[in-house]
Amino acid sequence: MTSPPALLIAADGVRHDTGSAALLELVEHLGSRHPGIPVAAGLPGPGRWPLSEAVGELVAAGADRLAAVPLALVPDRWSEDALSTALDAVREEQPGLTVAVSRALGPDPVLLALLEQRLDEALGGGARSPRDRADVTVLLVAPGSADPQANAEAHRAARLLWEGRGYAGVETAFVSTAAPDVPAGLDRCVRLGARRIVVLPYALFDGGPVERAVLHAEGWAEAHPDTDVRCAEVIGAADELADLVVDRYREAVASPVPAAAAGRP
């Protein structure tokens, strides 16, 4: 019986200790929920856990085929180029290795449902009806990119999150590089009539950008005590996220995407 291709998680941007711990947790989830798929994670570019080491681990275990799944909520040209460069180097080192690449994770209905859960938790617990959310404005905060398409995808995710869920509105802000920043995004929410705002990180794991977003939101809230501002948690290493990664893996095995075009329309 032919063994399945190995799953290579390309975790660009997960360089903070907390995010690294969450990534390891996700790998463990994948191993327990899908034990038949060999899996390893690495980061394109310099730093800890280089992608080449993850590939070497999988090859040493007998893998001759890989499906790489980038842990990206939006397609980003710079991240895609870094992944493509890393995979080109892997192919040179392992000339007999076949590598496929999946598209970006978001905005997928699974991720939107997880974001909705994080919003409900920030609002105080269990699932809420559209009527319960009528006075809630959401500020979806993405890291921000020099790639305009990546920033546009964050706005697209905000629109999809708003559709049919009953929030007063879902606005978008960015931690860096793109505008508006978090304080400006909160100002916009107030100008639109918001008195209750949930700042929702559009991020899988905690780390530098999320910490900065929370600090900016807390600082703004101190200066605007008449506005109820809450910060939701990140998506995290949920079982649903693990299953979505495997869905992307299976798509890549069936219909591989060229590395330079992964995630682009």
Contact partners, residue 36, CB within 8 Å, separation at least 6: 4
8-state DSSP, 37? S
Q: Which H/E stretch holds residue 197?
A: strand 196-201
pLDDT by residue, tens only, the chain of 265 residues: 467 899 999 887 665 556 678 888 888 888 888 888 999 998 876 667 788 888 888 998 899 999 999 998 988 887 788 888 888 888 888 888 888 999 989 899 999 999 999 999 999 876 567 777 899 999 999 999 989 999 999 999 999 999 999 999 999 999 999 999 999 999 999 999 999 999 999 999 988 889 999 999 999 999 999 999 999 999 998 999 999 999 999 999 997 555 444 444 4
| Residue pointed to by tokens 């085929």 | 65
Inside any domain, residue 133: yes
Based on the fold, state whether residues 216 and 116 are members of the same structural domain: yes
Task: Provide the domain count of the chain.
Answer: 2
What residue type is assigned to position 95 of the chain?
P
Based on the fold, state whether residues 32 and 77 are members of the same structural domain: yes
Inside any domain, residue 248: yes
Inside any domain, residue 101: yes
At 73, which CATH number? 3.40.50.1400
Inside any domain, residue 182: yes
Based on the fold, state whether residues 144 and 182 are members of the same structural domain: yes
Q: Can you give the residue range of the structural domain that contains 28?
A: 6-105+237-261
Based on the fold, state whether residues 97 and 158 are members of the same structural domain: no
User: Is-contact 100 262, C-beta < 8 A?
Assistant: no
Between CA 129 and CA 134 the distance in angstroms is 9
Whole-model pTM?
Answer: 0.89
Angle (nearest 5°) at CA 78 between 77 and 82: 115
Based on the fold, state whether residues 179 and 243 are members of the same structural domain: no
Q: Which of these, 170, 174, 169, lies nearest to 213 by C-alpha position?
A: 174
Between CA 158 and CA 83 the distance in angstroms is 26
With 0-12 / 13-18 / 19 or more C-beta atoms within 10 angstroms meaning exposed / middle / buried, residue 247 is: middle
Based on the fold, state whether residues 157 and 62 are members of the same structural domain: no
